[in-house]
């Protein structure tokens, strides 16, 4: 808690900014940054106690500015559990953003499609998640200042924002799915047997992020909204060749403008 407050205080002092909404941009999805009227930008490595991003395609910047006239703070690149960070490190920036004043968090990620009706390049609005990480970020002594010991998770993803996002997609002719995201640690993609298992468990898309961040956000009472960009389809048959990281990055880049439009319109409507 001390570190969270210290980092928030540092950023507050440097910027004088009170953001209303936080945005987390996933692999290859950083293009939204071009739509931000940027007031302040920090390399993660320059922020006290911030972890440093290592994965290719993740720029590692914390950006303060205006998006559609709203005050926002955006993470270009996030911290993944598979990089070796502790869960506390993975969720540290969300906690700092909350201290800075955000009430809403918007998350994006690249994900593999499990629902056979999905296509590469589709967007999926996340309506719920399954936590298959080996850990929960709230394990350990509860930080009462942040939230309750046993957070209720019935409406983790805001129904209101989901409905609004569907309307925005429709109005802009964007094909948009809705579904359940399963998060697991990676860095391996799933074997065919694992993809089949996740499908049987009720998930529509699978990825290596978002779930820990959303748990920490919900703990603090933030309103959450998430979108997955379907960058590849699950390989359900043994022997079929799976997806490369390059393919994931390329598909994310192509779908990125659609996701950006939905985020922009949603944030405008806050």
Residues with active-site annotation: 27, 58, 80, 82-83, 110, 208-209, 232, 245
Q: How far is the CB of 251 from ligand HPA (least distance, A)?
A: 9
- The SS3 of residue 67 is strand
Toward ligand HPA, which CB reaches closer, 22 or 112? Answer: 112
Toward ligand HPA, which CB reaches closer, 93 or 112? Answer: 112
Toward ligand HPA, which CB reaches closer, 144 or 237? Answer: 237
Q: How far is the CB of 154 from ligand HPA (least distance, A)?
A: 26
Toward ligand HPA, which CB reaches closer, 100 or 203? Answer: 203
Nearest to 117 by CA among 13, 215, 199, 31: 199
Residue with tokens 């409406």: 155
230 strand-pairing partners = 111
φ and ψ at residue 95, rounded to 5 degrees: -65, -40
Q: Which residue is nearest to ligand HPA (CB)?
A: 112
Helices within the chain (DSSP H only): 2-15, 87-100, 159-171, 192-200, 211-219, 245-268
**Residues 63, 74 contacting (CB under 8 angstroms):** yes
Q: How far is the CB of 110 from ligand HPA (least distance, A)?
A: 4
Residues that bind ligand HPA (CB under 6 A): 110-112, 189-190, 206-208, 231-232, 243, 248
Q: How far is the CB of 48 from ligand HPA (least distance, A)?
A: 31
CA-CA-CA-CA torsion sign (33, 38, 42, 47): negative
């Amino acid at each position: 808690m001390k570190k969270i407050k210290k980092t928030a205080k540092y950023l507050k002092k440097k910027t004088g900014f009170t953001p209303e909404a936080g945005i987390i941009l996933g692999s290859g999805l950083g293009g939204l940054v071009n739509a931000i009227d940027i007031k302040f930008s920090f390399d993660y490595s320059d922020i006290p106690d911030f972890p440093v991003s290592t994965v290719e395609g993740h720029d590692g910047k914390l950006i303060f500015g205006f998006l559609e006239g709203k005050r926002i703070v955006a993470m270009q690149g996030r911290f993944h559990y598979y990089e070796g960070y502790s869960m506390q490190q993975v969720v540290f920036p969300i906690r700092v953003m909350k201290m800075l004043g955000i009430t809403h968090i918007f998350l994006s990620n690249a994900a593999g499609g499990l629902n056979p009706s999905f296509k590469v390049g589709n967007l999926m609005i996340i309506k719920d998640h399954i936590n298959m990480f080996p850990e929960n970020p709230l394990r350990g002594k509860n930080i009462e200042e942040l939230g309750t010991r046993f957070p209720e998770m019935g409406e983790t993803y805001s129904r209101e924002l989901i409905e609004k996002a569907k309307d925005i997609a429709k109005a802009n002719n964007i094909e948009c799915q809705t579904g359940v995201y399963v998060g697991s640690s990676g860095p391996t993609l799933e074997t065919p047997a694992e993809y089949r298992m996740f499908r049987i468990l009720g998930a529509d898309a699978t990825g290596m992020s978002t779930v820990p961040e959303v748990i920490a956000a919900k703990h603090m009472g933030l309103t959450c909204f998430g979108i997955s960009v379907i960058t590849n389809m699950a390989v359900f048959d043994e022997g079929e060749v799976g997806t490369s990281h390059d393919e994931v990055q390329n598909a994310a880049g192509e779908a990125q403008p659609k996701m950006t439009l939905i985020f922009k319109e949603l944030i405008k409507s806050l």
